[in-house]
Amino acid sequence: MTTGHNVHLLPQTDQLRAIHTIIRDKQCSREDFVFYARRVIRLLLEHGLDLLPFTKKEVTTPVGATYHGLEFAAGICAVPVIRAGEAMESELRDIHPGIRIGKILIQRDKRTKLPHLYYKHLPDDIAERHVLLLEPMLATAGSALAAVDVLIEAGVREDHIVMVNFLSSPEGLRRAAVERPRMKIVTSAIEDRLNEHAFMIPGIGDFGDRFFGTTDSGAEK
């Protein structure tokens, strides 16, 4: 698939493919799933932070010289889409301990696959901030785009949103590009397709269930 200019696919290195091979295996233990998923999440978050704006900053080094460096230009915050998005939160706190964190709870109807918003709690000044939207799975993109709607309603600029995503479908990316063309998306893999049940193929199963241990199987999503 040709990705839009706002889709940032992590370099498909052999190491990344090897990690995906471990965690996509339906026999993968939960312990390994969490360990290796976290390694990819760390890469995704670092890449997402790279996409935020920086301004020049100079510091004096211990040898008295000037280092012409950079610092974050604007306030940032993160908003995980519960439940699966919370898998990314602890990694982000490790990199950025003081970051403000909002929450959006969206669950898909099991039958229709349509997203339903149950809860939101966002930082008061979120409209002034750049937002890392943490949503590991982009299948139909319904849940992710419903979360984006919540951010836009709260005053966040579309071009201030970076979606941090583990696995995406071509259909979901196309829909996101049409509906939110200025939002950036960082992903670690683009799947072949969605099947008739809106599951990504080859896929990884239910990310939330596998990460949080709420099922014994890697039942397909």
**Least distance CB 81 / ligand PRP (angstroms):** 5
Active site residue 206: yes
Q: What distance in Å separates the CA atoms of residue 198 and residue 201, rounded to the nearest whole number? A: 9
Nearer to ligand PRP (CB atom), residue 64 or residue 84: 84
Residue with tokens 């090897």: 18
Nearer to ligand PRP (CB atom), residue 48 or residue 115: 115
Report whether 98 contacts 44 (CB < 8 A).
Answer: no
Active site residue 216: no
**Least distance CB 47 / ligand PRP (angstroms):** 20
**Least distance CB 138 / ligand PRP (angstroms):** 5
Active site residue 109: no
CB neighbours of 183 closer than 8 A, spacing ≥ 6?
A: 6, 148, 158, 159, 161, 162, 163, 176
The DSSP symbol for 168 reads E
Q: Which of 129, 187, 206, 210 is catalytic?
A: 206
Q: Which of 108, 129, 180, 210 is catalytic?
A: 108
Contacts with ligand PRP, residue ranges (CB under 6 A) = 81, 83-84, 107-108, 113, 115, 135, 137-144, 172, 198, 206-208
- DSSP-based helix, strand, coil % in the chain, nearest 5: 35, 30, 35
Residues taking part in catalysis: 108, 112, 206, 209
